[in-house]
Structure formats: C-alpha cells, structure tokens
C-alpha cells in the first residue's frame, strides 16, 4: 500500500523548482497560479535566495505549488492514503480532490500571509530536538515555556516559542537530546502565537465548497482518517495554532498496511523520518524530474 505525502515549511531551497520548469506545461501552470494569487512562483522557485524564500508568505505557496506540479508529473495515480506535514496538508487535500489546485493555492496564500502577520507580533522561531525520550523532552520544553509544536516521531520533536526561550533551550537541552537545531522558519508555528491567523483562515474558507476525499486522508491533528471535505477544511484552519502529530500519522500508515511512502517535491524530510520510524517500508523522495522514473516504478509495485 502506497502513501503519498507532502513536506512542510523548511523543505524549500533556492532554485529547487528550476528543473521542473523543463517539463511540458509546468511553467504555464505556475504562471497561471502566480497571476491568480499575486505571487511570482516562477521567480521565487528559481532565482530567489534563501532569505527571500524563508518568508512565510512566500515559502508556503511555493511548497504547495511544488507539490502539485511534481505530483501531477506522476500521472493519474491512486495512493492508499495521502497526508501532508503542516502546510503540506493543503497539498494533500488537493491530491485527494478536496480542493482544486487554484483553491488550494489561494488558501495557502492567505494562510502564509496570516501566519506571517501573526509571527510579526512577537519575535519567535522553532528548533528541532534530535534524540531523547519524548516524554522527558516535552516536560522540559514546558518548563522553559516552549511548545512541542511538531511531534514527528523517529526521535524528533520541534520546539516553538520566543527567541529568548529557544536560546535557553540551546543552553539547557533535555536529558538524552543529542542536538538542538534552529530551523529556517520565521515564526512559532502551530502554537498559541498563531491564534490571530485562525480567524483570518476561517474567513478565507467560508465560501469554499470542499469535496469529500477520493483517497484516505490522514490528519496532522491526531493521525486519524477524515472522511468529509468539510471536516478536513475545518482541521486545516485550526491546525495552524495546534501541534503537528506526524508521529500519530505514521502510526496510522502502519495500521493501514503501508509498504511504500512517496514524498513529493521538495522531498527528503518525511522520507527521512519514515526510514527511522517505519522499518521495512520503501521510501522515495521526489527532488527533481530525474526521480520520476523510480517513483513510477514504486507506484506500480505498491499501488
């Protein structure tokens, strides 16, 4: 059984869309989406530097656009389940037919702007904790006033809070944690710091008419399968201010009988977690069109 997944913010790198523009129709699609949302996706995916694409309002639409063009390049596939990490949930909702591509890009554009506005209120950030016992780490983070914003499984938790709180964490790691790594994101996502973005997204989704998912959709909120489009959109709104439970998503993949996991562009983060948490499951990350043949072989074997 194949699971198709989409990465979240921080996966972007300068120029990562450049090779995809060589595929027929990709540049036209990106330019049409750019016009629709008022953001030059081609420029930011090819010529912008790391600081430019670190901006939340740019990074989020760019990641969803990359996921959609790389997913489309796979052809008409029927995965056993779809899921996305954080903003990747919008990509997954489009894969499942809950939102069409244009609605997904419009929603993520509003999401990125709203979260950037919320992040500007207080200087905040996120850091990944590698290793250690999750219960010990969570208790330590709470002592420092930090939120375990992403519980990713495979020995990784992402802490979020003010820069002062993150500095304290760097000086005082939880017992057993090997390393604390500052992430290239511009805010404390999936925490109470993002509460102002929730009302903006509620307004942005009010006129959407989501369809029920064509494939099993696994939610970041609790790792559960969600059967209706309305509930998926409701969760997409609330999730910006609540922790990502990717660990529970991977547990659900196991329950569903996953045998292969394919991560769309810019792949790598979620396949890395799966290699550690889902032993025996074949994984493949789409980085460039050169990976498409191997991806199609994986799909043929496991769909």
State residue 219's pLDDT score. Answer: 98
Query: In this predicted model, what pLDDT tens digit does every residue of 271-301 receive, in sequence order?
Result: 999 999 999 999 999 999 999 999 999 999 9
CATH topology of domain 2-120+191-302: Malonyl-Coenzyme A Acyl Carrier Protein; domain 2 (3.40.366)
pLDDT band of residue 155 (cuts 50, 70, 90) is confident
State residue 252's pLDDT score. Answer: 98
Could you tell me the two tokens for 222? 């609790």
pLDDT band of residue 303 (cuts 50, 70, 90) is confident
Could you tell me the two tokens for 2? 């194949």
CATH of domain 124-182: 3.30.70.250
Domain boundaries, the chain: 2-120+191-302, 124-182
Four-CA torsion 299, 156, 247, 234, nearest 10 degrees: -100
State residue 185's pLDDT score. Answer: 81
State residue 184's pLDDT score. Answer: 77
Residue 51, strand partner residues: none
Residues in CB range of 103: below 8 A, 6 or more apart:
208
> Tokens 């309305």 identify what position?
230
Q: What is the mean pLDDT of the chain?
A: 96
Q: Would you call the peptide bond into 266 cis, given omega within 30 degrees of 0 as the criterion?
A: yes
Q: Which residues have a catalytic role annotated?
A: 86, 190
Query: In this predicted model, what pLDDT tens digit does every residue of 265-279 receive, in sequence order?
Result: 999 999 999 999 999
H runs (alpha helix) in the chain:
26-37, 41-46, 50-54, 56-72, 88-95, 101-119, 134-143, 163-171, 195-205, 229-238, 246-256, 269-277, 292-302
Query: In this predicted model, what pLDDT tens digit does every residue of 187-201 receive, in sequence order?
Result: 899 999 999 999 999
pLDDT band of residue 154 (cuts 50, 70, 90) is confident
Is the pLDDT score of 224 beyond 90? yes
């Amino acid at each position: 059984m194949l699971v198709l997944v989409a990465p979240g913010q921080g996966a972007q790198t300068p120029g990562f869309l450049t090779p995809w523009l060589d595929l027929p129709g990709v540049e036209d699609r990106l330019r049409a989406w750019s016009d629709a949302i008022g953001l030059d996706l081609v420029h930011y995916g090819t010529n912008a530097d790391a600081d430019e694409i670190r901006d939340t309002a740019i990074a989020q639409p760019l990641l969803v656009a990359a996921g959609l063009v790389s997913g489309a390049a796979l052809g008409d596939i029927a995965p056993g389940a779809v899921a996305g990490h954080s903003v990747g949930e919008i990509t997954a909702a489009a894969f499942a037919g809950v939102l069409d591509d244009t609605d997904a890009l419009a929603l993520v554009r509003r999401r990125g702007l709203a979260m950037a506005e919320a992040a500007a209120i207080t200087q905040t950030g996120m850091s990944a904790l590698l290793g250690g016992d999750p219960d010990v780490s969570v208790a330590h983070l709470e002592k420092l006033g930090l939120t375990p914003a992403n519980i990713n499984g495979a020995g990784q938790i992402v802490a979020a809070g003010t820069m002062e709180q993150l500095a304290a964490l760097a000086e005082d790691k939880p017992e057993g944690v090997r390393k604390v790594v500052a992430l290239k994101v511009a805010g404390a996502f999936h925490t109470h710091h993002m509460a102002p973005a929730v009302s903006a997204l509620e307004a942005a989704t009010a006129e959407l008419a989501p369809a029920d998912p064509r494939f099993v959709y696994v939610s970041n909120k609790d790792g559960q399968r969600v059967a209706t489009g309305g509930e998926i959109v409701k969760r997409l709104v609330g999730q910006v201010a609540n922790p990502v439970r990717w660990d529970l998503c991977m547990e659900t993949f196991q329950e569903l009988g996953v045998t292969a996991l394919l991560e769309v562009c810019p792949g790598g983060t979620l396949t890395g977690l799966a290699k550690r948490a889902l032993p025996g499951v074949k994984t493949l990350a789409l980085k460039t069109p050169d990976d498409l043949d191997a991806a199609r072989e994986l799909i043929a074997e496991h769909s």
